[in-house]
Amino acid sequence: MVANIARIDGKDATAWTGAMPWHKLGFKLPGLMTPKQALIAASCDYEVVKLAVGVVDDMAPEYYGIQVPNTYTTGRRGPELLDDGITPRFIPFEGSVKGRYTIVQNHDAFSFLEPALGKEIACFETVGALGNGEQVWAMVKLPDTFEASPGDPIEQYILITNCHDGTGSVIALMTPVRVVCANTLAIALANCRHCVKIRHTKSATDKMGQLHKLLSVSDSFWIKLKEAFTRLQMRDMSQLDVIGFIETMFPGKMEVVGGTTVEVVKTKTLKMRNSVIGLFEGAAQGADKAGRTHYGMFNAYTEWLDGTSPNAALRRSIKKSTGSNWEASAFGSGVSKRQLAFDTLMKMA
């Protein structure tokens, strides 16, 4: 999966502060700025329009120009111009929307972030558009960080994304994931459990005020997240804890042997169990900092799940529909497996 950063008016439609993104695209922001200034810097200040879809068929000229009932297309108007140098060019997005679909312009969606901005309070971290501009995101970095384990800092961000092609809503959430491309945006959205979603309907504009509720609960969200990670870090895994967790994540199959129902662990499952235990006992990245704690086990399991361990051939049995193992972990069945691991460890702690 590529970065999928849009090219708008000959520019990479993204801007950022801090560390340069892996794709090295876009422009570095000078620091604190308004949502409008950030959108301009990232070439995301275009207007989105909705047009009726009509019939265009040279084989049936009698139907030429007839509108398709309740079917529209969306796209951005400009900033590219037609050959006359005056008229904004229309760039259509793929797909279609129904008549009730209501456009939420980027500046309207992102303006809710302005109260979070201020000197030594927060600043825009990344802003960008994907595809032809059909999906746009902006995120604010909050000043506080906390460590899940010594030397393992977790940053705090507020993210908002706006989708213009009918495939998504306006979504705002708090996340520790720094979004810089299509990959990282998918990760942030796939793992969010507490967010505000506003559908593109007639009431969308009136409901935009709900986004401000996210700012009011931001502090309590990060406090609870910090408490959860601290709880995992403070509790050592006993041998029984390790066995219980491993059996939960990699259960055997119950079979009848000699008239008795017993658990049968196949060789493949046993290898996966041993692979995670090996990571937990010191092979995982950061194992020296996380220790043999509940957080250390979560760190070991997620490394195995993401396939970054030396024992990659044993790392998991996640059914992949398309793409790489990492994509399946980040966007597919790996999401529910990661959440199950976290919930299981929290109950033990």
Sheet holding 14-16, edge to edge: 27-28, 14-16, 123-130, 135-149, 152-163, 170-175, 195-198
Residues 112, 249, single domain; the answer is no
Question: Which tokens belong to 149?
Answer: 């384990």
**265 and 175 inside one domain:** no
Look at residue 98 and tell me if it is in a domain: no
Residue located via tokens 């950063």: 5
Q: Specify the DSSP element, H or E, that contains 343.
A: helix 334-348
Buried b (16+ CB within 10 A) or exposed e, 222-244: beebbebbbebbebebeeebbee
What pLDDT shows up at residue 181?
72
Q: What is the pLDDT of residues 11-56, one digit of tens each?
A: 999 999 888 888 899 999 887 778 888 899 999 999 999 999 887 7
CB 275 within 8 A of CB 304: yes
pLDDT value for 56? 79
53 and 37 fall within a common domain: no
d(CA 2, CA 13): 15
Average pLDDT of the chain, as a whole number: 80
Last residue of a domain, one of 168, 195, 225: 225
* Together in a domain, 183 and 268: no
216 with 294, same domain? Answer: no
Residues 141, 169 within the same domain: yes
> Which distant-in-sequence residues (6+ apart) come within 8 Å of 253 by Cβ?
263, 264, 266
Q: Please indicate, yes or no, whether residues 118 and 209 belong to a single structural domain of this protein.
A: yes
Provide the pLDDT for residue 320: 38
Q: Are 213 and 71 in a shared domain?
A: no
Distance CA 329, CA 107 (A): 33
Residues 294 and 314 in one domain: yes
Per the structure, the count of domains in the chain is 3
């008239």: which residue's tokens?
259
In a domain, 303, yes or no: yes
153 and 200 in a single domain? The answer is yes
Those residues of the chain that have pLDDT short of 50 are: 1, 308-333
Say if residue 160 is in the same domain as residue 300.
no
d(CA 318, CA 255): 23
In-domain check, residue 2: no
**What proportions of the chain, in percent to the nearest 5, are helix, strand and coil?**
35, 30, 35
* Structure confidence by residue, pLDDT tens digits, 204-255: 777 777 766 766 676 777 778 788 888 888 899 999 999 999 999 999 887 7
Question: Pick from 246, 349, 258: which is nearest to 301 by CA?
Answer: 246
Q: Residue 312 has what pLDDT?
A: 43
Residue at which a domain ends, from 197, 225, 253: 225
Rounded to whole angstroms, the Cα distance separating 234 from 216 reads 29
Owning domain of residue 130: 7-45+105-225
Torsion angle defined by CA atoms of residues 237, 243, 247 and 252, in that order, rounded to the nearest 10 degrees: 170
Same domain as 156, residue 39 = yes
pTM over 0.95: no
Handedness of CA 56, 60, 61, 63 (dihedral sign): negative
